[in-house]
Structure 1
Amino acid sequence: MASTVVVIGGGYGGISVAKALDDIADVVLVEPRETFVHNVAALRAAVDPDWTERIFIPYDGLLTRGTVLRDSAVRVRPTAVELRSGTRIVADYIVLATGTRSPYPAKLDVEQAADGAAKLRATRAELARADRVLLLGAGPVGLEFAGEIKSAWPDKAVTVVDPAADLVSGRFPDEFRAELRRQLGELGVELVLGTSLRELPGTDPGRTGGFTVTTGSGVEITADIWFPCYGAAIDTDYLGPELRPARRADGRITVTTDLRLPGQHTVFAVGDVTALPELKMARAAQAHAQVVAENIRTLLQGGGTLASYRPEEDAIVLPLGPKGGVTYASEVGVLGAGPSADLKGGLFLDMYLELLGAVVAR
């Protein structure tokens, strides 16, 4: 009988591990959402109706032999997973790929695809009614959302506020941030950096309703709608007593170089949930998945030297609408709007359609 590999979480890392091991193990992918959600394109889906349905990709074509269970883990131990439904799965290997939650619309907070699409349509309608938009956070999410809004509605006023003194944390050269500022200036995005709001707006995020707020530095900002674009929540409360020592105070999971939890031989972790010192991005999750799949395959075939993972250097393709953006990677340096749009203009949708074995109407 084939060994059982349980993958907890059907995001970028989870689907990659599950797919890679489908030929050699009985893979069970545990995911509460109805479909895979292509979060890389979520901000565009909030402003562009052509993307509303595209980001929801069925899991049906992902596995040939394995199973996708619509459920979630409530307790994970070294050899078994207990699910919300009451089901208990005995496992030979377990991969933790539960990722993080981020404020909507960077990540959707609903499990049904129809509910997600309806929420995106409602957000687009609210944005269409607003003349002035306030975004809190000048990281990749805030800046990308600013670019998407200005591309869809060039006449809207968009203001980005962040307590940090500069744009985008990470180890990037000055030229990268200078190019970001240049393109944001051309779009007409106002940056208010080095300060935060004294109080949050009185309206709910994503709902149109005029308000005026004041920053700690005394700047008054009047807007019609606002969105939080910062912060990631990690839920690893499902870790059983044997695995809990790997859980840091922030909820992330410490892993060894072979991406196992310390002291555990059969439990691995991938993606945003890990405490690895690198930017949390889909490409990193997939790189983790490649190493974990290789290592589990090695163990299933009788053992040997396991592959090690080295955290990636900071690199990013940050779109500012379909035709703009800035890229940085050490091997290519800083790239401007044209090359960045070429790299990420399609938001890698085709890659994930292929990985998931899905055909989605265009």
Structure 2
Amino acid sequence: MSRMDHRNNRRKTWISRVSQYVDSSAGRISLTIALISIIGLYLYGREIRNKIAGVPTPSVVFRDKKRRRVLIIGGGYAGLLLAKALHHKLRDAPVHIEVLEARDKFYHNVASCRAVTEPGFGKQLWIPYDRFPVFVRRNCQVTDVHTNYVVTATNEEIPFDYLVLATGSINSIPSKFPITTASSQAVATLGRIQRSVAEAQHILIIGGGAAGCEIAGDIVDRYPSKRITIVEALATLLPGRAVTDEMRKVVTEKLARRAVEIVTGARVLLEDEEFELSGAGFPEPRRRVLFTDSGMALDSDLQIVCSGNLHYNGHCLQKLAHTHPTILDEHTHEVCVRKTLQLYDPMLPHIFAIGDVANCITSKTIVACEIQAKVAVQNLLVLLNAEFESGVGRDDLPARLKALVQVEPLQEFGVPGPLLFITLGRSDGAAQLPFLGVLGGWFMRRLKSQDGMTASWWRQLGYDNVLSNT
């Protein structure tokens, strides 16, 4: 045997042993821990490097002895992540942090696909704010934003020194509910949808993005004999630019293997006013024949619309945009921001926007929200320190803004790598990870598929157990 053959045999033996170890229970646990560590470094790498290098967390003490007030509009994923991180950094500083939220409870919509199939699961998605470490003013809808105060729907004026807009996006039920919908009403609607899914034989899902694929995966996982059709207007499922071709292929093949019918490149014509997506209801389940723009007839007895983010909640900036027109996209109502996540107009350095409502070129995911929240927190701390050093009083707004405009350098938001998690029922899914490509069901079962990360978000809001205070 030649030396080259000997090396090849050793290499094959080594690869075989590694494969056997990875397929074993211990191997999968080790690999899962390694992957979670990589994701942690990806999300928190800069913060870890700063601590190792001895970069201090900015301290805040103001010469005028007046507390500064940071308002966060929106108690969704982005707003809560920022509020919690800022509270941790400014625990002993003279800064009041407050969240203004139009809803009465937090809606964990990432797991809404599970509520479509499992009785009672919808109740778990609405989490009280009572134990969150930052004060959340519930049922508080902001209608107008001015330079240093906001106006609520009850005409109350609430002053601020710094403002963060995290008002999110508008989508169709069950992915999102209108902000005026009470949690009890939403839970009842989710229960009605779940019962409708259980009774239906042919379900039409309109939209093949992440929400549509996850709902299809959950339904076919629980009801394998039901006929399910996904119709996507664009050429492929998961058409977002942050999704890799490998991820699209894996998800499409997994759904096709479960006999989900997939129609792409066809737009469903929704002329029925029941499908008005900004409404608070869900179409009454009944047999309908809908048509695509190419004339294809689609006969089904339940229709679920999952057509992506349709509009963004930047309406409260409309009056401010009259004098600062560059801060708001008048068509989508996305808030226009710089790379520092401050509003695009440089004369408003004390107002930020993060999450879905910000027009960052990135996917609208919790991961993006978390990275943006960290950037905004760091920049808020820098501005607060700069305000301390300038010695300008809180009540001298023009001088404060002039001083803040000159503060640099600030941290910039970089578009995160291809990180995406798609559940397809409790036991399957696909994870798109930077550097590692796409991983399958065993990884997703441990990360998201079991409960849609519901338990972890109850912990985020201060609860040890799901439903411990409902």
The reply on whether 1:174 has 2:239 as its aligned counterpart is no
What's the Cα RMSD here?
Answer: 2.0
Partner of 1:3: 68
Aligned residues: 361
| Structure 2 residues not aligned, in runs of 5+ | 1-65, 276-281, 388-407
Deviation of 1:21 after TM superposition, in Å, equals 2.4
Is contact 1:201–1:213 with CA below 8 Å preserved after alignment? no
Q: TM-score, normalised by structure 2?
A: 0.73
Separation (CA, whole Å) in 2 of partners of 1:61 and 1:49: 26
Alignment of 1:221-260 (within 5 A): 221-232=298-309, 233-239=311-317, 240=320, 241-248=322-329, 249-260=331-342
Partner of 2:254: 183
Supply the AA of the counterpart residue of 2:260: V
Partner of 2:467: 361
Is contact 2:207–2:306 with CA below 8 Å preserved after alignment? yes
Which of 85-94 and 232-241 deviates more?
232-241
Is contact 2:166–2:355 with CA below 8 Å preserved after alignment? yes
Give the one of 352, 367, 370 matched to 1:268: 352
The structure-2 alpha-carbon separation of the partners of 1:242 and 1:189, relative to structure 1 and needing over 3 Å to count, comes to same
Q: What whole-Å deviation, never above 9, does each CA across 1:308-345 have from its counterpart, x for those lacking one? A: 21121232111111111112122220112222232212
The reply on whether 1:43 has 2:113 as its aligned counterpart is yes
Is contact 2:244–2:418 with CA below 8 Å preserved after alignment? no
Structure 1 runs of 4+ with >6 Å offset? none
The structure-2 alpha-carbon separation of the partners of 1:9 and 1:88, relative to structure 1 and needing over 3 Å to count, comes to same
Deviation of 1:195 after TM superposition, in Å, equals 1.4
Deviation of 1:199 after TM superposition, in Å, equals 5.3
Is contact 2:74–2:168 with CA below 8 Å preserved after alignment? yes
Partner of 2:400: none
Partner of 2:141: 72
Supply the AA of the counterpart residue of 1:354: R
Which of 212-221 and 132-141 deviates more?
212-221
Deviation of 1:286 after TM superposition, in Å, equals 1.8
The structure-2 alpha-carbon separation of the partners of 1:59 and 1:318, relative to structure 1 and needing over 3 Å to count, comes to same
Larger-Rg structure? 2
The structure-2 alpha-carbon separation of the partners of 1:201 and 1:150, relative to structure 1 and needing over 3 Å to count, comes to farther
Alignment of 1:83-122 (within 5 A): 83-109=152-178, 110-122=180-192
Name the SS of the counterpart of 1:196 in structure 2.
coil
Name the SS of the counterpart of 2:315 in structure 1.
coil
Name the SS of the counterpart of 1:43 in structure 2.
helix
Deviation of 1:132 after TM superposition, in Å, equals 0.5
Is contact 1:57–1:358 with CA below 8 Å preserved after alignment? no
Partner of 2:266: 195
The structure-2 alpha-carbon separation of the partners of 1:256 and 1:338, relative to structure 1 and needing over 3 Å to count, comes to same
Partner of 1:295: 379
Partner of 2:436: 332
The reply on whether 1:55 has 2:125 as its aligned counterpart is yes
Is contact 2:209–2:308 with CA below 8 Å preserved after alignment? no
Partner of 2:207: 137
Supply the AA of the counterpart residue of 1:235: N
Q: In percent, how many aligned pairs have the same letter?
A: 27
The reply on whether 1:219 has 2:296 as its aligned counterpart is yes
Partner of 2:52: none
The structure, 1 or 2, with the larger RCO (C-alpha pairs under 8 Å, 6+ apart) is 1
Supply the AA of the counterpart residue of 1:238: C
Is contact 2:129–2:136 with CA below 8 Å preserved after alignment? no
Name the SS of the counterpart of 2:104 in structure 1.
coil
Deviation of 1:218 after TM superposition, in Å, equals 4.2
Name the SS of the counterpart of 2:304 in structure 1.
strand
Q: Which has the higher helix share?
A: 2
Deviation of 1:16 after TM superposition, in Å, equals 1.4
Q: What whole-Å deviation, never above 9, does each CA across 1:52-110 have from its counterpart, x for those lacking one? A: 2211111111125x452421111112211111111111100000000001100011235
The reply on whether 1:27 has 2:97 as its aligned counterpart is yes
Is contact 1:62–1:357 with CA below 8 Å preserved after alignment? yes
Is contact 1:79–1:91 with CA below 8 Å preserved after alignment? yes
| Structure 1 residues not aligned, in runs of 5+ | none
Supply the AA of the counterpart residue of 1:306: L
Is contact 2:104–2:138 with CA below 8 Å preserved after alignment? no
Name the SS of the counterpart of 2:150 in structure 1.
strand
Separation (CA, whole Å) in 1 of partners of 2:385 and 2:161: 13
Partner of 1:352: 457
Deviation of 1:119 after TM superposition, in Å, equals 0.8
Deviation of 1:283 after TM superposition, in Å, equals 1.7
Separation (CA, whole Å) in 2 of partners of 1:149 and 1:7: 37
Partner of 1:310: 414
Alignment of 1:135-174 (within 5 A): 135-169=205-239, 170-174=241-245
Supply the AA of the counterpart residue of 1:72: Q
Separation (CA, whole Å) in 2 of partners of 1:152 and 1:356: 29
Which of 91-100 and 231-240 deviates more?
231-240
Separation (CA, whole Å) in 1 of partners of 2:70 and 2:431: 37
